Copies of this chain bind each other. A is one copy, B any other.
Amino acid sequence: MADRIYDRTPKQDGYRMPAEYERQKQIWMCWPERTDVWRDGARPAQQAYVEVAKAIRRFEPVTMLVNARQYDHARATLPPEIRVVEMSMNDAWARDTGPVFLINDAGELRACDFEFNAWGGLTDGLFFPWDLDDRLARKICELEMIDSYRTDGFVLEGGSFHVDGEGTVLTTEMCLLSKGRNPQLTKEQIECKLRVYLNAEKVIWLKDGIDPEETNGHIDDVACFVRPGEVVCLNEENPNSPFYQASQNALHQLSQEKDAKGRSLKVHRLCCPKEPIRLPQDYVIDNTETAKKRSTSDICIASYVNFLIVNGGLIVPQYDDENDALAIKQLQEVFPDRQVVGVHTREIVYGGGNIHCITQQQPEGISKENKERGKNYDE
C-alpha cells in the first residue's frame, strides 16, 4: 500500500525531515549476525544490541529486524516487549540502511529511500554485496505503509547528516564528496539534493569526520543538533589523538556558523574517551574476501556524540573509560529535561559504529495504514 515516488521531491510535496528531538513513534534496529564483521559468532555484539534496545524501550517502542536464519535466536534473546520482524539484510546499521522519515504540516508521513552502497561501493565500501541493505528502507516503508522517495543515482546514508528540523543540515565534505558515493555530482549538486530531499534551506559543511576509513567521516560521530540553534560537538583536547584535528576544526567552524533561521549556533562541548579504544588482543573475525579486515593496532571510532535522542531520553555510549561519567554529566546539562541512559557499546564499536548508527527513529505521524481505516471499500 506504499507508493514509490521517483519523479517528485519532498520539497515539492511539502514534506521535511523532522529533527531527532521531535516526537517519535518507534525506533528501528537490525540484528547483527555476520561473522566477518562481528567477533565470536556476533554474540557479544548481539548482547550489546539487546542492551541498547532495552534502554530505548524504556522510552518508546522498538522493532528489531532480523534475517530469517537468526529469527528464533533473536526472538528468544530479546525481551518480549521488543517487536521482532523478519527481514533479509547484509548487515545491521539501521541508521544508514533504514528510511529517512519525513513529515508534512498535516502530520502525514513519507520517507526518503536513498541509494545505499555500503559506504563507498566498489571504491572503498566495507562489504559486498549490499543489495539486501539497499532494499531495507523500501521494505520498512512497505511494512508501515508509508510512501517513499527513491533516489536512484544518489547515494546517501542517514549517519552522514543531521537536521535541526527548521531548515538546517549538518554534514561533512569528507563523506559526501567521497569518491565512492556520488563522484558524478559536484558539491553544489549534492547540496541541492540535500535541500530538496530533506527540505532544507541551508547546508553547513564541516570538512572532516573522524573515521576516514570506515564511513568516510559520518557527521554522527562529530556533532549533532540538540535543539534549534544549538549543537553538541566532539571536543578532543589531546593533540596526539587521531580525532584531535577534526574535532577542533569542527568546534571552531560551528562556533562561527549561523543556521537557516539566521541564529548563531550555540556550541556545547562533549568530551572524548580518555584512553584510545583498541580492538582486544584476542579479537578475531572471520576472514572473508567480502568484508573489511580489521587490525588490533587500529584505534576504534569511539565517540560519545553517537548517542540517540528518544522521547524523554538520551541513549549514550559508554566504554568503561574514565570519561564515561563526564560524558553523561555534560549531556545531562545539555538535555536537562531528558533522562540520560548509558549503555556499554564497545562490542558495537569493534564493528565500526555505535548507538546512533544502529538505530533509526520513526516520527509520530499519520501513515497510510492510519488513513486506510477511514477508506470506503466496496460494501
Contact = CB atoms under 8 A, between A and B. Distances in A.
A286 to B, nearest CB: 22
Interface string A55-79: 0001111000000100110010000
A87 interface: yes
Interface stretch (A32-40, A160-168, A293-301, A371-379): A371-379
A3 to B, nearest CB: 5
B83 A86 contact: no
Contacts of A80: 1-3
B60 A377 contact: yes
A313 B379 contact: yes
Interface string A190-212: 00000000000000000000000
A81 B378 contact: no
Given A68-B68, A86-B88, A88-B68, A61 B313 contact: no
Given A83-B145, A84-B142, A135-B71, A377 B1 contact: no
Copies in the assembly, this chain: 2
Contact of A378 (B88, B139, B312, B378): B312
Nearest to A311: B379
A228 B172 CA distance: 67
Nearest to A83: B1
A61 B379 contact: no
B313 A1 contact: no
Interface of A: 1-3, 58-61, 68, 71-72, 75, 80-88, 132, 135, 139, 142-143, 145, 311-313, 338-339, 369, 372, 377-379
19 contacts: A1-B82, A1-B83, A2-B80, A58-B377, A68-B88, A68-B132, A72-B135, A75-B142, A85-B139, A85-B142, A86-B88, A143-B143, A311-B379, A312-B377, A312-B378, A312-B379, A313-B379, A338-B379, A339-B379
